[in-house]
Structure 1
Amino acid sequence: MITRLTTSALLGICLWAPTAQATNFDYNHIQVNALGNPSGLGGLARFAFTEGAHFVVKGNTQFEGDWYTSGGVGFHAPINEFVDLYGELEGAWFRRPEDDRHDAGDLATVIGGGMRAWIAPPFETNLYVGSIIFDQDDSTSLVEIGGRFHSTEALSLGATWRANGLEQNRLIFSVRYLY
């Protein structure tokens, strides 16, 4: 009886468990961002180095003696056939336009995670939540909500609303090239 129950439970778990599948989104892309309120220019690149991991590099400026650069590693995995979960850990070096104390900029650690989902065949929506950590007593939140229109298999257009403690809430328009 116990063997039959154990075999049935094991068979049920194997049939219930999600099947292994590749991610639903491409994590090999280069992106150019047009920043609004205040205006500026930025970029982002992700390079997958295994089936579930990628490198990430980000940067932007308002052309007022400021910069934001970061780089690190991340993971990505499918939740189901329409949704991916991803996370990233980055080291950041930045300087805000109004910061007269730190000519060489500040260092921080950025940790966060998000979800990307297909809401219709050419339309993607995304959410990212994270934290920018300056030291053990000082950090600020980071939230991004956006969407993308995939016009071709290699090109997509996006709009994102970003809120964080480093800058004002801003709208970001982007063009992403998948390679």
Structure 2
Amino acid sequence: MLNANGVNAVITRLSKAALLAMTLSVPAAHATNFDYNHIQVNVLANPSGIGGLGRFAFTEGAHFVAKGDTQFEGDWYTSGGVGFHAPINQFVDVYGELEGAWFRRPDDDKHDTGDFATVIGAGLRGWVAPPIEANLYVGSIIFDQDDTTSLVEIGGRFHSTETLSLGATWRANGLEQNRLIFSVRYLY
């Protein structure tokens, strides 16, 4: 007959076996709804500029991300990091990213060589209709313990082909004016 320690040991072993089985079966059973291997060119409006973004999946649920943009006024924004992505259901994915950022805003006389920050955020991407995607991203730009600013992006994409999509996004991030971003994304 099993005593309390024996019962706990059996439950622990069964729990570990069940957790291992679920972990190994989830990636095969649930693929993401969107491709996270893409390169994107952005045209920034109000104030105008140009930018780019790249995401490169390195496992079933994780990706690298690199971003950059400029208004051609002695400014720049660059960041790179890692992210995760996973399906919520058959239409919606959740994703998140942790990035290190190096940037300089126009008319910033305090930081001639730029400023560093950490960017953390999460978002949702969902199919509204077969070729139309809606997306939302909410995050925070962290300069130090006492200095942070919010980041919000909301937009949509039209997937004209399997490898090409056009998008429009509204961004508010506290570093610059709220702006509209038009983009072309190439999936590879």
Q: TM-score of the superposition, structure 2-length normalised?
A: 0.85
Query: 2: distance between equivalents of 1:129 and 1:167?
Result: 16
The answer to whether 1:92 aligns with 2:117 is no
Aligned to 2:136: 127
Structure 1 position 101, deviation (Å): 1.3
Cα RMSD between the aligned structures?
A: 1.3
Deviations 1:47-101 (A, max 9, x none): 0000000000000000000000000000000000000000000000000011011
Matches within 5 A, 1:1-179: 20-179=29-188
Q: Select the structure of larger CA radius of gyration.
A: 2
Query: 2: distance between equivalents of 1:25 and 1:74?
Result: 14
Query: 2: distance between equivalents of 1:165 and 1:27?
Result: 27
Structure 1 position 164, deviation (Å): 1.0
Report runs of 4+ in structure 1 exceeding 6 Å deviation: none
Structure with the larger helix share: 2
Query: 2: distance between equivalents of 1:29 and 1:148?
Result: 14
Deviations 1:13-36 (A, max 9, x none): x9xxx9931000000000000000
SS in 1 for 2:162: coil
Extract unaligned runs of 5+ from structure 2.
1-21
Deviations 1:133-153 (A, max 9, x none): 000000000000000000000
SS in 2 for 1:115: strand
Q: Which amino acid aligns with 1:139?
A: T
Extract unaligned runs of 5+ from structure 1.
1-13
Aligned length: 163
Q: TM-score of the superposition, structure 1-length normalised?
A: 0.89
